[in-house]
Amino acid sequence: MVNITDRAAVEVLPEDVLAAHKVVDGLINCAGIIQKFVKFNELPFSEVDRVLNVNFNGTVNMTKAFLPLLLARPEGHIINFSSMGGYLPVPGQTVYGASKAAVKLFTEGLYAELMGSNVHVTIVFPGAIATNIAANSGVSIQMPESAQSSKIKTTSPQEAARVVVDGIEKNSFRVFIGSDAKMMDFLYRLNPKQAVKLITDQMKSLLK
C-alpha cells in the first residue's frame, strides 16, 4: 500500500509493480475523499490541502509515474475518476468539486496529448455510489430527519465497476455512472444557472 500523496513513494512504485506483475497495461486512479460538509469560509487550510493532495495531486503523481510504462506497451489505458461534483458545483463541497474539476481537465488534456498514441484515456463521472465515502474520508454528516426518511438512489460498487470496465473496452472518452450523473450533466449543459440553484436547494439542509 502506498500513500499516493507521497511523490517519492509513488515514483518507485512502478518498479515494485513490474517486479510483481512483469507488465502494466492500465492505470485506474479512483482514490478520492470528500471535505467536511461546510462552506468554504469555515474550511481550514489543513482540510483544503488534504483534499487537493489526495484527489488531484495523487492522480497526477500516479499518472506521471506509470505513463512511461503504458507508452512502452502495445496498448495501454488510463482511467481517472472525476465526479458529478467536477462539473456541477455542490455547496459544502466547493474544494472537493474544485479538485475533481481539476482531474477532469487534466484527464481531457492527457486525452488530447495522447491522441494517436497507444494509450487510451477515459474520464469517469460517478454520481451517488454506495461506497460510504463520507466515513472513508473521516467526515461526519448530520442528516436532517427529512433527508434520512427519503431514500437517495445510489449505484452499487459492483455496477459502477461494470460500467467502468465497459467504458475501458469501448475506449470511451467519458463515462457517467448513475442516472443522477447523467441527468445533472444534461441539466448543467442546458441551463447552468438553474442547475446550480437546484443542487443548492437540495443541499441547504446539510449546511445549516
Three-state secondary structure readout of 68-120: HHHHCCCCEEEEEECCHHHCCCCCCCHHHHHHHHHHHHHHHHHHHHHCCCCEE
CA dihedral 89, 48, 160, 203 (to 10 degrees): -40
4, pLDDT greater than 70: yes
**Residue-level pLDDT at 141:** 67
Please report the pLDDT score of residue 132 as a whole number. Answer: 80
Q: How far apart are alpha carbons 26 and 109 in whole angstroms?
A: 18
Task: Categorize the per-residue pLDDT at 131 as very low, low, confident or very high, splitting at 50, 70 and 90.
Answer: confident
Banded model confidence at residue 203, pLDDT cuts 50, 70, 90 = confident
Catalytic residues: 96
**How far apart are alpha carbons 40 and 95 in whole angstroms?**
7
Of the ranges 68-77, 130-139, 199-208, the best mean pLDDT one: 68-77
Average pLDDT over residues 123-135: 89
- DSSP-assigned states of every residue in 172-196: -SEEEESHHHHHHHHHHHH-HHHHH
Report the SS3 class of residue 163. helix
pLDDT at 206: 79
Q: Share the mean pLDDT of the chain.
A: 92
What lies within 8 Å, CB to CB, of 119 at 6+ separation is: 67, 70, 71, 75, 76, 77, 78
Percent over 90 (pLDDT), the chain: 85
Mean pLDDT across the stretch 26-31?
Answer: 97
20-206 under CATH 3.30.420.40, yes or no: no
Rounded to two decimals, what is the model's pTM? 0.91
